[in-house]
Structure 1
């Protein structure tokens, strides 16, 4: 579900037990040493008041995710099955993507480059030669070469099995991710298994995930939050859990990709060089800005920002 900017403070309705479960998971992850003194015989509200008092000095921001419904779960399953390798051969002409909608001619000779432009293109070619045959895959390179790295966004991902009963709150995990690659060249959203808790990795080996498993990993349901330039964005989709060694350069972490994510949104990315030309003050440690304007969520609701 996407949360439009004009609804950032809108309330969501969910079971109190589910709210407390998310709060408890966040407290356990971020302040595990905090203790509370409570009487053995007490009431719900009294116990909560004591707990609140113990957390006042370490209070932190928290994103509350809506409760998964069976309808949302079914929609995510359909995306997962569509992402699995096809059982039959597909024409090579359509293996790598679909054409975009356009009213312009398919082919038209471009104007020739000027001498100055040709020189700049030669310089650009030399710069790109450093990447060899590894493009367009993510690379681990110096942060100072900011124009050569993909945008990175931060956020929180909550993972669970695609066939998990929506009322069952066990066997899930919530991760705060500081570096998610914004990679429009990736076919699907990916999370490498090495960053998952060991207990959740063990859970993913159970037979219930077999319908969504293939030789390079499996798919799971993800409720996510990411901080974009113009809004806090909340979504639900499926992620491909894969070994880091199966990715180019063995990169570990999270990659945001097309299926169920980019192919449902309209956004504008503004790199640092454009912002600097506009006269804006932006440091060399920032890629630029990403603004989302429209999004079709997993239930086909149209969200604007």
Structure 2
């Protein structure tokens, strides 16, 4: 599902067009910070979007389903629905461990939901990636991650990748058996080692946390973007556009220009002061926006 990049996540600040100024001087905590998000999803050549995404003032989610058109779309939609339902409680938990454990639990519940639905023979074997980020009450951005959909952070014009792909080629790059350049064109680049649903237990989600700062910009995306658009281009686009919606749209266009053959889902969110009026509220995209047949 993806062509992983180099495991070293930092890129020189000189590549960025100068970054974006913080909108306000604010301390940490949910009472002072909010996510100002945008989301776009575009179906690839298969015609049905098997990605799903959610963007809200305190939560971001991207899932990339596999298992045939119906199965992949269903798995991604179920994962996003379960994570958004459970993560609201995690975000409201002000204890130090609450958001972390709650978000990890949300992905575990999503795994269970996908596996239960796969009892339908028409959905057997379906699975999905899932990457979610929550703005916790203590002012941290907490990311939970299974698969190869990515979370990245742009701060002061510098882009860092927060997640590590759970893919075969990423493991081979980490072990020194493949170079990043070889991994990018490897016929094994679509092989996942961990996913929600499917035949193997994914284990607990990876958890990553960073202290949020006003002016931070977050990107969550499926490999329809990250598999074809270089990190330097991601950094330049994220740094150049003032509004999340414009950045998301430009990133999708960059994926199309690069010849992506997959569904593309992009969620971009700025860390902004509470009360910021630019946010559209909650947005569902891809299969998450579909009404289930049942």
TM-score class, shorter: under 0.3
Bigger relative contact order, structure 1 or 2, given CA contacts below 8 A and separation 6+? 2
TM-score of the two chains, using structure 2 as the length reference: 0.24
Pair member with larger Rg: 1
